[in-house]
């Protein structure tokens, strides 16, 4: 990583170009952006994201360049290259008739990530154990999820950890994937299972406008992606089924909207019983 960039608050734009639960992203001079963590977040969080992004990029995954970490007005952050372009989710909204071709792009980019190898990322099994233990779950469900993780095969594939269309930027000449906060290494099937969970109907809030239409589009996109990525990476559907329990259990620890959490808890009860 390069030396710490010199950036102060006066160089930030008036408004962030993106806002999430834990951070805001601002454009700064030099074709860069700074991702500032919310006040109270630790400097080590930003350092970990920077290190994981660098590890993924070094391995050949389509991750943005990292220029270093910063502290601005008491907030810790990471400076990245400014990847310009619409997110894949925006492209889908703009042109829903191209859903199948967008699912192909989504699967192909994921295959590129999963075809990369790294020993510099944490093991996904360690990440999952930590999240599952932190989740508010019945002991039987927690133990069942941890048992699945313990039986998981080893692997060194680069796993994004939060791969969904909102994190794929359709930048020329090729898509770039952002937000490597939860990047890890392990079997490719783990990351595909995580993505299928993120694309499930549980993520569509009950009060969302046009929920039925969104659900239909998301379902079609999910099926098309799943078919292509399973064939490309060589994953049996039963292997993905086995990952559902620990992936959903780990996600409970992530501070979800109430509607999504309720659906996941109902599914967990069913899967743990099975």
For 207-226, the pLDDT digits (tens) are 445 556 667 788 899 999 99
Residue of 245, 243, 246, 248 whose CA lies nearest to 274 = 245
pLDDT for residue 266 is more than 60: yes
DSSP annotation string for 115-149? T-B-SSS-BHHHHHHHHHHHS---HHHHHHHHHHH
pLDDT category, 133, cuts 50, 70, 90? very high
Distance CA 187, CA 55 (A): 17
Weakest mean pLDDT among 21-25, 82-86, 158-162: 21-25
pLDDT top residue among 210 and 156: 156
Distance CA 159, CA 35 (A): 21
State the alpha helices, DSSP H only, in the chain.
Answer: 43-58, 88-94, 99-114, 124-134, 139-150, 188-198, 211-233, 237-251, 258-273
pLDDT (average), residues 88-117: 95
Is the separation of the CB atoms in 200 and 268 below 8 Å?
A: no
By percentage, how much of the chain surpasses pLDDT 90?
Answer: 71
The whole-number pLDDT of residue 207 equals: 47
The whole-number pLDDT of residue 274 equals: 60
The whole-number pLDDT of residue 1 equals: 53
pLDDT (average), residues 6-22: 76
The whole-number pLDDT of residue 15 equals: 85
Mean of per-residue pLDDT scores for the chain: 90
The whole-number pLDDT of residue 29 equals: 86
pLDDT (average), residues 113-121: 97
pLDDT (average), residues 148-175: 95
Q: Report strand pairing: 176-177 vs 66-72.
A: unpaired
Burial of residue 74 (CB within 10 Å: 0-12, 13-18, 19+) is exposed
Weakest mean pLDDT among 3-17, 43-57, 144-158, 187-201: 3-17
Distance of CA 37 to the CA centre of its chain: 17
Distance CA 147, CA 222 (A): 27
pLDDT (average), residues 250-262: 90
By percentage, how much of the chain surpasses pLDDT 70?
Answer: 90
In this structure, how many other beta carbons lie within 10 angstroms of the beta carbon of residue 73?
A: 9
pLDDT category, 161, cuts 50, 70, 90? very high
Distance CA 251, CA 71 (A): 29
Task: List the domains of the chain with CATH numbers.
Answer: 9-81 (3.30.200.20), 88-273 (3.90.1200.10)
pLDDT for residue 62 is more than 50: yes
The whole-number pLDDT of residue 165 equals: 93
pLDDT for residue 89 is more than 50: yes
């Amino acid at each position: 990583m390069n030396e710490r960039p010199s950036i102060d608050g006066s160089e930030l734009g008036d408004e962030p170009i993106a806002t999430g639960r834990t951070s805001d992203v601002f454009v700064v001079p030099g074709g860069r952006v700074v991702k500032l963590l919310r006040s109270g977040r630790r400097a080590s969080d930003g350092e970990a994201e920077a290190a994981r992004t660098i590890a993924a990029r070094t391995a050949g995954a389509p991750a943005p360049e990292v220029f270093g970490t910063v502290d601005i007005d008491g907030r810790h952050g990471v400076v990245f290259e400014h990847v310009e372009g619409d997110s894949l989710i925006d492209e889908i909204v703009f042109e829903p008739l191209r859903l199948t071709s967008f699912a192909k792009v989504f699967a192909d980019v994921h295959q590129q990530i999963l075809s990369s190898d790294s020993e510099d990322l944490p093991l996904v099994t360690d990440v999952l154990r930590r999240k599952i233990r932190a989740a508010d779950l019945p002991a039987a469900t927690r133990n069942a999820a941890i048992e699945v993780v313990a039986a998981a095969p080893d692997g060194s594939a680069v796993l994004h950890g939060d791969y969904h269309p909102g994190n794929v930027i359709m930048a020329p000449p090729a898509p770039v994937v952002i937000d490597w906060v939860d990047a890890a290494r392990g079997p490719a099937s783990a990351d595909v299972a995580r993505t299928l969970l993120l694309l499930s109907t549980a993520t569509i809030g009950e009060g969302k406008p046009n929920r039925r239409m969104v659900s239909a589009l998301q379902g079609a996109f999910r099926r098309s992606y799943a078919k292509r990525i399973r064939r490309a990476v060589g994953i049996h559907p039963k292997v993905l089924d086995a990952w559902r329990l620990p992936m959903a259990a780990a996600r409970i620890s992530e501070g979800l909207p109430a509607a999504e959490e309720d659906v996941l808890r109902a599914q967990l009860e069913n899967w743990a019983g099975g």
